[in-house]
Structure 1
């Protein structure tokens, strides 16, 4: 099987060579078979046809108008997906925006994200792909993990955590307590134990205001989709070409542990807990039955 990184590089190279592009052409989507979604909205390099760069005129300060590319994040996201596949022999979902951020910012609400109709269509295509991934993860596994990959220039040695101060991992905290977000076996606790320099540190301190989680993790994280959504803001030392493979390998290892710790039935109870919402499951013979939707994931040994 060809590597995920190699396949994506071919796809992006072909996109760069082709002429007129449709909105969906500027969104790279890989369907996965584990409850993990990797997202990269700011690493694209391609123009949007018939769309001038954004100017940001008249936007409020809270819009945080930025047009710079998060260099290396597209490549890092695909490297993480590849490392997860090599480790687990299973593919995560992957959603990458190939268009440059100066034309559209997919990590902003629509009123701040674009300034022309072609860019709106690309924005909608990106979020349609991401929403489909979240829906599919919830339907297949009941819950999942989303990693939103970004780059920051404030400190080259740090990786900032963004969860809207815990709101985008509400499912995790509800089931496993605050230690699952701030303890040694939390996502960032495990990254720290493997040599990453992380913020906040101590992990229970407030997140940095500018990197506390943007539109994507706030829209798709929390209990709406039963998705634990983290924004990871990587310093350049983790995004450089000569560092990406090691960064990706460590993240893949931590993701494997995260799945076993938090995306399965909690071990402290022998009886599954249920919530009132029902999930309709279509049977192969065309009938539909209702089953209670579990508040734990069905994965790695749990029945699908």
Structure 2
């Protein structure tokens, strides 16, 4: 039995869909906060169980009979460590034989503030004694392509990453990798540094938007403070805007780059090029 937490979310749903290609539906558990959001998975025969990171009492029941568990990191930055701890405790109590965790690319040495809660979680997993595998995911291409329409409208991509090379991949790429690990043997103790094959700078990203759309788009590099202020101006909550600004500054220090090609090796194909992601959005 394989369980996926956050299975109604963007990444989790894709992981379940990838698992369904090789695993019988009745052997998959979609652990979700809102069962109604997983109705499509239930219709396919997947076991949908209530599991809320903030309600530890729901977790043990959700993990009953589970052999392998994918813990998809919480989206509540600042609350991740205690939420993940609750999941890990429940997994241990239920005798889960393999815990896979979606961490951050090179979390142990990352300059990104986002790495802190991932490092804490990785340490707690080790302390728990549960056999585990770490999926250290790089940045999602969607983090950038979601802004393509705005970039075309304003003629610019804004950021504070300078000439940093960003080795992004799509959620689909990362989901297929997670499914591969969950359905493979001898994964305990492994650490995967997962990133896209073809890194790009934000200047190159802007040029790719120009090429695909026929509209002139340039990259405007701001200071971290100005970039954070711009994000807040367009409605991004202050604390999250600060995290995004820090992440771009961390990228400028190499925090979102990796050229080991472990992701494409896992999924058995090249990762999705950012140019293809841009075309898909357009």
TM-score, length-scaled by structure 1? 0.27
TM-score, length-scaled by structure 2? 0.29
More helix by share: 2
